[in-house]
Amino acid sequence: MSPVMIDLLLNALGETLLMTAVAGLFSLLAGLPLGLILVTTSPGGIAENRSINRLLGVVINGFRSLPFIILLVALIPFTRLLVGTSLGTWAAIVPLSITATPYFARVAEVSLRDVDRGLIDAVRAMGASKLRIVWEVLIPEALPGILSGFVVTLVALIGASAMAGAIGAGGLGDLAIRYGYQRFDTAVMVAVIAVLIVLVCGIQWLGDRLVQRIDRRH
């Protein structure tokens, strides 16, 4: 590839990393509390409330049922209102964040439900408050699973960000479509695929190492 194409590839990689990082951070900050609410308000939970649990479950499942490309188009008016445009990297971050949050919420919920029920009951019997149970029992015990789920979410976001390139969101997907597909440049397409593979493998490897270091069971 020419130096110009290499520069475009590096810029596209930077845009993909930006979209993935910002949307991933938002999904972590919003999805983890949602997962905690789902677990704590479920039947037998420390703050059982079936009405809230069912309502939140319906909302999360509703967003998860929408294919990303449909959500991307449906959110164009909201995205334009929020960031002033429906094109570009920052415009893509809005639907990416919204689609990743309910996904990660369910992943976090599964990890939180795996926490030993006997441990929770023992801490409750000692008079611990609900907030203390969340911070000192639920989150620490479920942390390895939560981190593993977050890595999976980041990998899914990389794929979704490439899909967002179809409507001008920038990043590796946009580069592959504009230069690799529309201009029939096989070298660009192969390069984008190779970068995506390395990126996904790198994130998964780093995530696995971090989980192994944190997991008390190892």
CATH of the domain at 180: 1.10.3720.10
Total tally of structural domains belonging to the chain: 1
Q: Which pair of structure tokens corresponds to residue 127?
A: 């008079």
Q: What is the pLDDT of residues 88-105, one digit of tens each?
A: 888 889 999 999 999 999
pLDDT surpasses 60 at 161:
yes
Q: What is the pLDDT of residue 216?
A: 59
What does the mean pLDDT of the chain come to?
87
Q: Which residues constitute the domain of residue 167?
A: 3-214
Question: CA dihedral defined by 112, 117, 122, 124, rounded to 10 degrees?
Answer: 60
pLDDT surpasses 70 at 217:
no
What is the DSSP code string of 98-147?
Answer: HHHHHHHHHHHHHHHHTS-HHHHHHHHHTT--HHHHIIIIIHHHHHHHHH
pLDDT, mean of residues 197-215:
90
Q: Measured between alpha carbons, how far is 213 from 218 in angstroms, rounded to an integer?
A: 8
Q: What is the pLDDT of residue 23?
A: 94
Q: What is the pLDDT of residues 41-67, one digit of tens each?
A: 988 888 888 899 999 999 999 988 888
Q: Which pair of structure tokens corresponds to residue 180?
A: 């690799």
